[in-house]
Structure formats: structure tokens, C-alpha cells
Amino acid sequence: MPQADDILSVLTDPALQPVAERVVRGERLTRPDGLLLYATDDLTGVGALANAARERMHGRRTWYVRNQHINYTNVCNKQCRFCSFAANIGGGGPQPYTMAVDEIRDALLRYGDAPITEVHIVGGIHPHLPYSYYLDVIRAVRAVRPDVHIKAFTAVELDQIAHVAGKPLADALMDLKDAGLSSVPGGGAEILSDRVHALLHPCKLTPDQWLEIARTVAQAGLPQYATMLYGHIETIEERVDHLLRLRELQDETGHLLAFTPLSFHPDGTRLSHLPGPTALDDLRAVAVARLMLDNVPHIKTFWIMNTTPVSQIALWYGADDLDGTVEEYRITFAEGRRGDVRQAMSAEAMVNLIEDARSVPIERDGLYREVRR
Ligand code: SF4
């Protein structure tokens, strides 16, 4: 880990000095600290502090996973204004599709030779899919890849699944676990703010409901991931409060494995007039997350959203995970906008990217256990 004097010497904003001293002492940062980290012009200083926190936890190790994404349907009744993925019920948006369980099996078999250790499954909120569909999807993955980590269904989907199951979420989670579910992805929280919820995604879970589902996931003994969609209409205060609410949740449950800041891409959404975040915004989001979420083990830079060059730099701004080799991801750049849905990177390219950034690549599984081949 860098020495305290090295870190303090790179700061150009004297207001960061007390925050830096708290980081060096390993103390928890406060809400005003978070606001300052977002407000200061000294982004390099913020990055140096985040890197110190990162190196204290992980040294220069950087994690990646060989994974496959399955986005089983883009049919959705939630109408989120920031979404370019959904085919809205009643028309509008991309062509609707829903994968039959056999098609999901075929998609898995298409990469049957690839040494994938995680399958990541999310989709829209399709009002007519029966409960059995969700269980059959998990069972199909488990049948094709008995040892894979199955990370599936965000809190919003889990709410829908419990609804169509006609049973409490806790009971539905037990069924999903029995079918083979391993963990729950982080989407759906967006920004935990009632104001943003009312303006951008009023049909979806409220912040309190999202947190309640996260608690139920923890009680079910399932690990979960967390995210923050930023760069649309949210304020800096709302970003910091989002991080603080996740930190409180993690103090209570300890079940969050990693946090991913998700950079908003306005293209094709009902917010396409907005400029979207810059690379500097992306780096700051990673760095502030690392500094504020002192109890969340891993901070990801998702290379598809942040681009590979920015993700390399992010490894020096607090990120310790590049996410995955990612076969068939559809969400950020819907088919037809950026062409091919196959936005994959080979494991070799991932390793080179990490080594180029003077970090040590470690392949992991869905629970951050090292994979040795
Ligand atoms: S973000 Fe998710 S829930 Fe919202 S419209 Fe898009 S697919 Fe549906």
C-alpha cells in the first residue's frame, strides 16, 4: 500500500486533507466526505485515495470471471425512462423477444466448450411468464453446466416471480435455490431516491422495497451484488445517499459481494437529450464508491459500459474487478444500435488488459474464489 506521505503529497485540494487522513487511518468516511469527494476538482487526489483503499484490501490483484449472460426476454411492463433494452407492452422500443427454455439451453451449448464459471441471467418484467418458467430456466442451466455459479434475477424480477408464484418471496427464493440459483445480481436499485423513482421509474420497486427484498435475499442465505445507475437526473447528494444506504444494508446483512457503478448510456432511451457521463465521471464514480463502501469487498468497472481504456485507468481509481469475458450481453447496447449482441472479450485479452495496467490478473468464480487451471 502507498505510504501516507505519498498519498498526501499528490493532493492539490487542501480541503481533501482531513478526508485523506481518515483514509490513511482506515476510518469510515461521512456523508460530507462523500459530497466533497464528488465536488472537488482534484480528481487525481480522489483517485489516489481510492487506490490506497483498494491496495489495502487487494494489493494490485484484479479479478475477472469467464461468464455468459442470458437476457431471456426484453418484454417489460415497467417503462423505465432510462431503458433502451425493453420492448414495451403496447408497442415501442426494440423488437420483442422471449427465449424458450430450449433456446436458453441452446445458447448455453453454443459456448459448451468455453470454461465458463458463471452464468448471469436477467431480463425484463414479462407479465405473462409463469412461475415454472423461472424455475425451468435455472434447472436448464444447472443441467447443462452442473458446477457453474448461477447469478440470476434482480430484485425487480424476484418481486415479479414471487407475485406469479403466489407465495412469499422467502418461499420462492427457497424454490429457486433448490433449482440451482447461486446469487442475485444487483440491478433494479438504480438510485435509491424517492424523487428519482417518481420521475424515472415509478412502476418499479421503490427504494425501500428494493432494500427489503435485499434483506430477504440475505436471510435466504444468497449473496447479492449491488449497482448504481448514475449520470441521468440524479444529484450528487442522491449518489452519496445511495452509497450510504447500501453501506447501512451491508452493515446489517454482510451479504453484498461487489458494487458496480453503472454509467448511464442515453442513446435510444427517453432521456436521449442528456449528455451522459464522461470518462472522468466514470472514474470518480468508481473512486467514491471504493472510499464510501468500506464494507463491500469488491468494486467493479464493467468494461462494456465504461470502455476498456477507462476500465484500465479505473484499476488505479479503486476498482479491483473487470467483470467478465461476457458472452451475448444485450442490455446496454440493444441489438440494432451497436450491431452485434456478442460483446465478448477473450480471457487472454482480459489478462493482457489487466497486466497492461500493471495489475495482477486473478480469475475468479461467482463467489470470488480463485480459479486455478
Ligand atoms: S430497466 Fe428493466 S424494469 Fe425498467 S423498463 Fe428496462 S427492462 Fe424493464
Condensed to tens digits (0 to 9), the pLDDT of residues 282-293 reads 999 999 999 999
| Atom 1 of ligand 1: nearest residue by CA position | 83
Confidence (pLDDT) at 47: 98
| 9 half-sphere exposure, CB direction, 13 A CA radius | 5
Residue indicated by cell numbers 425487480 = 156
Q: How confident is the model at residue 342 (pLDDT cuts 50, 70, 90)?
A: very low
Mean pLDDT of 136-153: 97
- DSSP-assigned beta bridge partners for residue 76: 88
Residue 371 domain flag: no
Same domain flag for 200 and 309? yes
Mutation test of ligand 1: which of 74, 79, 80 has the most ligand atoms closer than 8 Å to its C-beta? 80
Half-sphere exposure of 259 (CA within 13 A, CB side): 30
Residue 41 lies in a domain: yes
CA distance 184 to 177: 11
Any atom of ligand 1 within 6 Å of the Cβ of 243:
no
Looking up residue 225, the CATH number of its domain turns out to be: 3.20.20.70
At 114 the pLDDT is 87
* CB contact at 8 A, 211 and 218: no
For the cut 90, the answer to whether the pLDDT of residue 164 exceeds it is yes
Radius of gyration of the chain (CA): 20
If pLDDT is split at 50, 70 and 90, which confidence band does 172 have?
A: very high
pLDDT range class, residue 55, cuts 50, 70, 90: very high
Asked if residue 247 and residue 156 are part of one domain, the reply reads yes
Q: What value does the mean pLDDT take over residues 244-262?
A: 98
Q: What is the pLDDT of residue 334?
A: 46
- What pLDDT is attached to residue 330? 61
**Which residues, in sequence order, are CB contacts of 205 under 8 Å at separation 6+?**
155, 156, 159, 188, 213
Q: What does the pLDDT look like over 88-111, one tens digit per residue?
A: 666 667 899 999 999 999 999 998
Query: Is the four-CA dihedral 206, 207, 210, 212 of positive or negative sign?
Result: negative
Task: Among 13, 37, 55, give the residue marking a domain's end.
Answer: 55
For residue 189, being part of any structural domain is answered with yes
65 and 50 part of one domain: no
Q: Given this model, what pLDDT does residue 329 score? A: 58
Is the CB–ligand 1 distance for residue 124 below 6 Å?
Answer: yes
pLDDT in tens, 12-29: 999 999 999 999 999 999
pLDDT tens digits along 185-222: 998 999 999 999 999 999 999 999 999 999 999 999 99
Quick one: pLDDT band at residue 373, thresholds 50, 70, 90? confident
Same domain, 276 and 149: yes
Q: Report pLDDT for 303.
A: 87
Q: How far is the CA of 193 from the centre of ligand 1 (A)?
A: 17
Residue 305 shares a structural domain with residue 201: yes
Q: Report the range of poorest mean pLDDT among 60-74, 86-100, 117-131.
A: 86-100
Share of the chain above pLDDT 70, in %: 93
Are 50 and 66 found together in one domain?
A: no
The model's pLDDT over 296-339, given as tens digits with 9 standing for 90+, comes to 999 999 888 899 999 999 999 999 999 888 766 565 554 444 33
- What SS3 state is found at 284? helix
Same domain, 137 and 38: no
User: What does the alpha-carbon distance between residue 157 and residue 261 come to, in Å, rounded to a whole number?
Assistant: 20
85 CB less than 6 Å from ligand 1?
yes
For residue 74, the ligand 1 atom closest to its alpha carbon is 7
Of 292, 198, 205, 204, the C-alpha closest to 245 is 292
Split into its structural domains, the chain has a count of 2
Same domain, yes or no: 170 and 232 = yes
Q: Which domain does 24 fall in, by range?
A: 4-55
Query: Same domain for 80 and 221?
Result: yes
Ligand 1 pocket mutation, candidates 81, 204, 228, criterion most atoms within 8 A of CB = 204
331: CA distance to ligand 1 center in Å? 10
- HSE toward the beta carbon, residue 15, CA cutoff 13 A: 12
| Closest C-alpha to 334, from 285, 267, 284, 282 | 267
**Neighbour-count burial for 227-255, b at 16+ CB within 10 Å, e otherwise:** bbbbbbbbeeebbbbbbbbbbebbeebeb
Provide the mean pLDDT of the chain. Answer: 93
Q: Residue 173 has what pLDDT?
A: 98
**CA 138 to ligand 1 centroid distance, Å:** 21
How many degrees, rounded to 5, is the angle at CA 339 between CA 86 and CA 344?
90
Which pLDDT belongs to residue 111?
A: 87
| Helices 207-219 and 155-165: angle between axes, nearest 10 degrees | 80
